[in-house]
Amino acid sequence: MLKILFIGDIIGKIGRETIKKLLPKIKKEESPDLIIANAENIAHGTGVTRDTLVELTVAGVNLFTAGDHAFKNSGQLDVYSDAKFSIIRPANFSANAPGQGYKIITLKNINVLIINLIGRVFMAMDYDCPFRAIDEILANIKHGIDRKKISAIIVDIHAEATSEKSAFKHYVDGRVSAVFGTHTHIMTADPQITGLGTAYITDVGMTGFADGIIGIAKENIIKTFLSQIKDKHEIPEEGRSIFNAVLAVIDPRTAKAVKIRPIIKHTEI
């Protein structure tokens, strides 16, 4: 069996410190074969940097996915094209965007395909269709330029609307091993294995400051709601933090999921 640990959106320094503190113990307890994390917020809540990616790689993360904040650090976009960094960005971004939207990793002599997509409902940019993008990727893997035998397919769909994520689950049901929703920073209470063997959760949640509003200090967010004037977002670097992840078990003989379980831990940073 193949065990995949997928960590929800890591937010800022407190999120990175939470990973460094908790992940070694989780690895001993769960023995995951592959650790994936959504990293679009690791550099103080907006984008990634070389240093933050190295920091989390050393901490034990094997591959990073992204989302709408992927390119917020415009001076370091080359990380997406640098083979030293195992990071992908949503495949349905513009074809002119740096990086790739999926990656094949070989584990235990089997190939695992990880795909990153972004939703369109309530999102600011005019992204390409994630439904058509998944069809194209799977066709390339099965028949086209990237043809390989795949024993597990993992999808991070970074989307705002629960309806879009749920529709996507039904669209790919039985064609992929797992669909993990990201972006809203709140873990949902619907981890499940579909009838056709796809592990699913609408949102994995986040890893970061626990006593704010989706990882942000609450004071300025509340001021924004009261005044309708957007105030600066602040991410505390100390305090109570939360670690949100899911552990999925996949049978590589069938590429079907047999188990999904949420992991929720708190600690002080």
Per-residue pLDDT tens digits for 55-93: 999 999 999 999 999 898 877 888 998 888 999 999 999
The mean predicted confidence, pLDDT, of the chain is 95
Residues in the chain: 269
Domain 2-268 class, CATH top level = alpha beta
Active site residues: 69
Q: Is 38 annotated as a binding residue?
A: no
Q: Is 160 annotated as a binding residue?
A: no
Instruction: Provide the 10 A C-beta neighbour count for residue 26.
Output: 20
- pLDDT of res. 7: 98
Which residues touch 58 (CB under 8 Å, ≥6 apart)? none
- pLDDT of res. 145: 64
Question: pLDDT band at residue 260, thresholds of 50, 70 and 90?
Answer: very high
Q: Is 158 annotated as a binding residue?
A: yes
Query: Quick one: what percent of the chain has pLDDT higher than 70?
Result: 99
Higher model confidence: residue 171 or residue 126? Answer: 171
Q: Is 233 annotated as a binding residue?
A: no
207 pLDDT above the threshold of 90: yes
Q: Where are the domains of the chain?
A: 2-268
Query: Quick one: what percent of the chain has pLDDT higher than 90?
Result: 86
- pLDDT of res. 100: 95
Question: pLDDT band at residue 19, thresholds of 50, 70 and 90?
Answer: very high
- Angle (CA) 244-113-109 rounded to 5° is 105
pLDDT digits (tens, 9 = 90+) for 93-151: 999 999 999 999 999 889 999 999 999 999 988 899 999 999 999 999 887 766 778 99
Higher model confidence: residue 133 or residue 47? Answer: 133
